[in-house]
Structure 1
């Protein structure tokens, strides 16, 4: 029977991957309490500039900052989504924290997947090259790939050049764009395009299939902070600054 969504993985696997990402979204949205929001110190000096120069009220500003934190968490989950999709292609599997993200079951391919081309500094790039070279050396028939799902162009080429002042090259270590890696594993030139075009259909089918239950209170951080301002009589920004930096000289006077 013909697949509904794409022709390189089953509909069931596709929907499982969508379900896993949906859970990640719900977890991220339900996880921003005041305590979580303050985990990394809030830059209230920057937020002051943002409020004044962009003419944004404090409440909208904090809500936008909370959404930025959610987005940062979700970006990591998007990479996992691609790993899970690709791991459903016949002959391949995901790494499950074993050092690689995707490998061929016959050990002829190993890959590390990054969602965006600019997510690594030079030290991370050097460590990744060394890791892929090790896989290639240990598996003489293997080709090893640094995959950039969202790359600046479409390519598949040997990864060689200078990293941290050292020359690196290996005859079986490559860097490859997302479209070409999807094509390589699936044997379908337009595999990533298929995914893109059918993703809205799969997501709609998934959402229609699940029971609509009321989720936990989302983003309680702002409500918690506003509750504190009612007794402290501080502005929202002053309250956040006080709760983050009251131990700084003079800040206890807020």
Structure 2
């Protein structure tokens, strides 16, 4: 029977990938507590500018910052979604913490997947090139790829040039855009486009299918912070600043 969504992976595999991503969304959104919100330190100087320059009241500002943290977590999960989809193409598999994201079953291809082209600094790029070159040297028939799902152009080219002041090149190390990589693995030039067009229907089918309830707890961070301001009489931004930086000189006076 013909596939319902795309013809380079099974319907069951695509729905499983969507289910995994949905779980990541739920996990990211599930009860952002004050402790979670403070985990990476809140830049309250930036938030002060955001509030004054953009005319946003403090409660709305903090809600937006919570959503930004959720979105950052979800962006990482989108890259995993592509890995899982590509790993469902016949002849390929997902790396599963093995040092690569995708490989050919016959060891003729290894790939590291980034969702966006600008997610690496020069040190990360250098380390990635060196890793791919090691795979190419170990597996003499392997082509090794830095995949940029959302790239600035469509390309499949040798990755060479200067990184951190050093010249890098290898005959079997490439960089490739998402459309070309989907085409390479599936044998279909428009495979990524087909996935894009199929996703709305597949997501609707997934959401309407019978499955255990996956409720999301209400985010409690703002409520926890405002309960403190009722006692401390600080503004919301002052309370967040005090909670995060009271050990800085003068900040204990807030």
Q: TM > 0.5 between the two?
A: yes
Distance 1:169 1:204, change over 3 A: same
Residue 147 (structure 2) pairs with residue 147 (structure 1)? yes
Structure 1 distance, partners of 2:129, 2:102, is: 16
Structure 2 distance, partners of 1:154, 1:31, is: 39
Which residue number in structure 1 is paired with residue 251 of structure 2?
Answer: 251
Which residue number in structure 2 is paired with residue 3 of structure 1?
Answer: 3
Which residue number in structure 1 is paired with residue 213 of structure 2?
Answer: 213
Which residue number in structure 2 is paired with residue 224 of structure 1?
Answer: 224
Structure 2 matches for 1:67-216, cutoff 5 A?
A: 67-211=67-211, 213=213, 215-216=215-216
Gap regions ≥5 residues in structure 2: none
Select between 239-248 and 153-162 the one with higher mean Cα deviation: 239-248
- Superposed displacement of residue 247, structure 1: 2.1
Counterpart contact for 2:133–2:144, Cα < 8 Å: yes
Which residue number in structure 2 is paired with residue 19 of structure 1?
Answer: 19
Partner deviation per Cα, 1:79-118 (whole Å, 9 max, x = no partner): 1000000000000000000001000000010100010111
Distance 1:234 1:214, change over 3 A: farther
Q: Secondary structure at 1:123's aligned position in 2? A: helix
TM-score under structure 1 normalisation? 0.97
Partner deviation per Cα, 1:199-245 (whole Å, 9 max, x = no partner): 11111111111447362423211111111112222211111111112
Counterpart contact for 2:149–2:177, Cα < 8 Å: yes
Distance 1:212 1:94, change over 3 A: closer
- Superposed displacement of residue 253, structure 1: 2.5
Residue 45 (structure 2) pairs with residue 45 (structure 1)? yes
Distance 1:219 1:191, change over 3 A: same
Structure 1 distance, partners of 2:4, 2:231, is: 57
- Superposed displacement of residue 70, structure 1: 0.6
Q: Secondary structure at 2:146's aligned position in 1? A: strand
Gap regions ≥5 residues in structure 1: none
Structure 2 distance, partners of 1:169, 1:232, is: 59
Q: Secondary structure at 2:32's aligned position in 1? A: coil
CA RMSD of aligned residues (A): 1.2
Counterpart contact for 2:31–2:217, Cα < 8 Å: no
- Superposed displacement of residue 139, structure 1: 1.0
Distance 1:156 1:214, change over 3 A: closer
Partner deviation per Cα, 1:138-177 (whole Å, 9 max, x = no partner): 1111111110000000000111111111111111111100
Distance 1:39 1:156, change over 3 A: same
Structure 1 distance, partners of 2:70, 2:222, is: 14
Structure 1 distance, partners of 2:235, 2:168, is: 54
Select between 221-230 and 177-186 the one with higher mean Cα deviation: 221-230
Structure 1 distance, partners of 2:63, 2:72, is: 14
